[in-house]
Every structure is written in structure tokens, then in C-alpha cells.
Amino acid sequence: MEFKRELQKGVMTVTLGGELDEKSARETREYLDDSIKRYRFERMILDFSNVEFMDSTGIGVLLGRYNLLKSVGAELCVTGIKPQIDKVFRVSGLYQIIKAV
């Protein structure tokens, strides 16, 4: 998994690249947790433009980060969702708690 983060005006944008699955879950979780602990922001946007695949392990990573962000008063959003990942979001109900921007 590849990561790039940018902080502007209270918004942390994290661009993800690769596959969000069992192999990359730990690395992704650690990177996002580090970003949440190290920086102050009101919204985290995960850019999925370069993510080719996501499975149920990825859903767990997102739910955990949603809860962590909620506990510090920040919002989690996603952008750049491709059709195959959009299907995962819709079937799992992620869009009910994570806003697409």
C-alpha cells in the first residue's frame, strides 16, 4: 500500500494506493492512526483514486478509523471511489456513516 498525506486548513487528505486487504491492513491502520495522533484536523478525507481492490478487512480498517476520529471530534470522508469499491461501500453500508465527497 502506498500513502501520501496533505494537511490544509483543518483537512487531512490521505491518498491511498494499491489494495486495501488483509496484507495491507496493519500498515494502513498504523499509517492512519499515526496521522490522527500526530496532527490536528477536523476532517480526514481518504482518496481512493489509486486503490484497485478492497475487501472486508479494509472495511474493518475504515470502521476503526471512523470510531477513532469520532472520539477526537473529527469526521471521516472518502473520495475517488471506483465502481468495484463503491459496490463494497454500498453492500456493507459504509456510506451510512462515512460521507463521500
Residue 84 to residue 14: CA distance in whole angstroms = 20
**The pLDDT value given to residue 58:** 96
pLDDT per position as a tens digit, 30-57: 999 999 999 999 999 999 999 999 999 9
Distance CA 74, CA 12 (A): 10
Whole-prediction pTM value? 0.95
| pLDDT score at 43 | 98
Contacts of 35 (CB under 8 A, 6+ apart): 5, 12, 14, 44
Correct CATH for 2-100 of 3.30.750.24, 3.30.70.20, 3.20.20.120, 3.20.20.220: 3.30.750.24
Q: What's the pLDDT at 9? A: 96
